[in-house]
Amino acid sequence: MHFTDQINHTIEIPNTPKRIISVVPSQTELLYELGLEIEVIGITKFCVHPEKWFKNKTRIGGTKNLNIEKIKALNPDLIIANKEENAEAEIKALQQLFPVWTSDISTLEDSLNMIKAIGEITDKSIAALSLIKKINQAFSQYKDEFNTQHTALYLIWKNPYMSVGSDTIIHHLMEYCGFTNVLSSKTRYPEISEAEIKQLQPEFILLSSEPYPFKEKHIAELQNICPNSKIILVDGEMFSWYGSRLQYTPKYFFDLWNGIKIANKKIFKQL
């Protein structure tokens, strides 16, 4: 059978894949959710979910530093990759050796299409469609909870500071849960200086847990730049993982806003 991926690359898979390698953490978690315990034979060192796979599955390098020789030795009949998270040169090299299905995710719709397609390729369509239904229900259930918009800067890196543009899943999910991205005129992952952050003066600065592991100590540094901004640590997986974790994302956003509201009430009481 022939399958065309999200970068318009067509692969041929004569039979249902039995030896799958995933080189993207959020898609690895998706494969687990779909019930591909036996079929998945290789993952990256960043595929931390599920924990038992992280401990027991063969690791084939990092997302942008794949061990091609190790992958050859595993002899997969399907590799599942991502345009953004993997290095183009490495994916092209693997395409010469094995069927490689590559996703390209910027929106929730892209994510759902990816889940459906992977379900079809792996003969797990029933599980994939069930998951899509759960995700859609979750996003529908909470959408009315986020009926106001607040300006926000989402930071993914430090030294230099880096944020997100409008063509990212993070931007899309920010908009869903009530944050207006102050860098919506930018694309991909723009660098931003302290002077630019100060000029923007966003209502919120969101410090992601990944890829840079922002901690409490970084809040004070940014508070000096933007004393009037509310600076909070957020779970980067909930804003950027576009596989099965999406079923939990709306509830996380709901809890996040509740936490913000509770904190604000405490501040007003102190005043």
Mean pLDDT of 106-122: 98
Give the pLDDT band of residue 130 (cuts 50, 70, 90): very high
Residue-range domains of the chain with CATH: 2-139 (3.40.50.1980), 146-240 (3.40.50.1980)
Q: Is the pLDDT of residue 99 over 60?
A: yes
Q: What is the pLDDT of residues 9-20, one digit of tens each?
A: 999 999 999 999
Contacts of 55 (CB under 8 A, 6+ apart): none
Q: What is the per-residue DSSP string for 174-202?
A: HHHTTEEETTTTS-SS-B--HHHHHHH--
Mean pLDDT of 187-216: 96
Residue 261: what pLDDT?
84
Strand order in the sheet with 100-103: 58-59, 40-43, 20-22, 78-82, 100-103
Q: What is the pLDDT of residues 135-172, one digit of tens each?
A: 999 999 999 999 889 999 999 999 999 999 999 999 99
Residue 57: what pLDDT?
97
Residue 252: what pLDDT?
98
Q: Measured in Å, how far apart are the chain's first and last C-alpha atoms?
A: 67
pTM: 0.94
Give the pLDDT band of residue 265 (cuts 50, 70, 90): low
Residue 270: what pLDDT?
42
**Using CA atoms, how far apart are residues 5 and 251, in angstroms rounded to an integer?**
30
Q: Is the pLDDT of residue 263 over 90?
A: no
Q: For 264, phi and psi rounded to 5 degrees? A: -65, -40
Residue 269: what pLDDT?
43
Cα of 238 vs its chain's centroid, Å: 7
